[in-house]
Amino acid sequence: MSRKILIVDDEPNIVMSLEYAFKKKDFEVFIARDGTEALEIAGKELPNIVLLDIMMPKIDGYETLKQIRNNKDLNGTKVVFLSAKSKLADVEKGLKLGADSYVTKPFSVKKVIAEIEEMIA
């Protein structure tokens, strides 16, 4: 089974650390810096998992998630929000919109990897 992950975040340090860690775990990693780019890559590469920031330029994570969920080609794609928005209302909103999980920043890369591997096992 392919292990494709799309990391969507506009913070270079987060992207670099996640990209490095997932490549070490034999994931094929794709990077997007905003929601528009994420939708283009997701539609083309059909990732198993999307790690999605909420506060980004162009299209925010909420709208990106809505568009992913409305794309029949991405029906099986798991979406995990990675966000500094850590209030309970933010988490509930993300899950209600269809995210499979919600991780708040700062986060442990090891824990994120463990959760992702469990999701696609």
Number of compact structural domains in the chain: 1
CA 38/CA 22 separation, integer angstroms: 18
Mind listing the pLDDT tens digit for each residue in 57-108? Answer: 899 999 999 999 999 999 999 999 999 999 999 999 999 999 999 999 999 9
CA 76/CA 48 separation, integer angstroms: 7
Q: Domain of 17?
A: 4-119
Mind listing the pLDDT tens digit for each residue in 1-55? Answer: 579 999 999 999 999 999 999 999 999 999 999 999 999 999 999 999 999 999 9
What CATH code is carried by the domain that includes residue 57? 3.40.50.2300
Instruction: Tell whether pTM > 0.85.
Output: yes
